Structure 1
């Protein structure tokens, strides 16, 4: 009876983690429950519990910009997830590791992890994370100015999104915004405007605060290239107001970095230093040495 009670308690802990990861903004309860699950998993040598515990610890650290801790936990999770056949969590783990490696300046290895995640999904019939990984691979190609390949991955992501029941609007926002950016960087402003209109019509009613910031960064760059200076400046002002709170630095860093480049180009050094002042403490705390070296020194 005692053994069954303990098993029931562990299952309750698992449900707590799945609930708290959405509800609990500071993630303390997630980490506490994961520690309980990890301890029991170590006692029973249970790879399913250990993989679960390490993965969700890593996810919680990611939300708190504790990148070193996140990477350590996710790296521990991978072997246990593979051993216990938790394929969707394994694909998500590869995705998080790739995101982290990009922040450390290791794009080639990051691409390997993204592709490992896609292979895992294909081999085991996983669909939930495919859209996100395709978006991330496309963004990596776009960063490296391989625009045609980037567009292909964004379009693959859109095809997956259309086939997915109850697909997240957040993913569609990212697909449209990245396609708009890709066309903008190729000089096709008409196509860029077409995707901005899609975002406003199909997605904006579902925007979170981070979505507004993410899309507004792209629109500021578009307005500048289109010669719409007043709209550009209004867009920049809105962004400055929106980034006053806590942000997930890995989710928005590249967009804000591009905005800093725009600020330099138009000699808005007040905007540049305002954004740097907000980002630098987060980057230093997160120990993202590559970003710190290239952006703040």
Structure 2
């Protein structure tokens, strides 16, 4: 088990030694970059696990201007995530995460506070409630039935069944139909998947944007490097493409609501909430698109 809490220190504090700031023990660090050069991002969880054997279940790492406290003990994790969860609920704002969340509008990336509590209530009560789960049961049954038929056809032809591939296809179909009212994932045939859809490509690119390294996150005074190497322009383009795609889907729903009846999906729920003046948070189109992005990015996980 490994979890990390990050925080920023002021300029005056950065000059203090590890002992003076009461940081937990950790590997030796270089000036300015700290421990960034030592981390194996290809297998980060395994690398942190190995370091915990040497420096203990509570370990500190210096990542540029940020200090990360790494917890590798179930007992300490309970203290951090349960007993003292409110005190440790804050987090630094990373550029990629802010880009994909429309500057922190989602419950996932919003800073802890009044807005976070209200948007969490909306998410839990209106999008993830037991009533909604029950309402979408026919969608799940239909997709499971389709998947069983695929497995049955493969078995009848004595062909191998890739359960991992088919399971991912099932989850993709269910999430897309619940969120958008239609499939936007690959179409599964007996022989193979067809070409990936534009939506799937965008989701994969958004994940890369969120997880990429940006100089401004760890060295705020060097944000110009991201612009110089084209990383900022690249992130802006991908986020704009996804925004246009989601807006097109929302516009289609607005037209469909006027023309004929169709099975309600998450977009319809969010559009109804947008018209509810009693909500403490007024949902804008950015709120709706952000919620859709968070729901559907799980498809690529």
Structure index of larger Rg: 2
- TM-score scaled by structure 2? 0.24
Q: Which has the higher contact order (CA 8 A, sep 6+)?
A: 2
Structure that is richer in strand per residue? 2
Give the structure with the larger helix fraction: 1
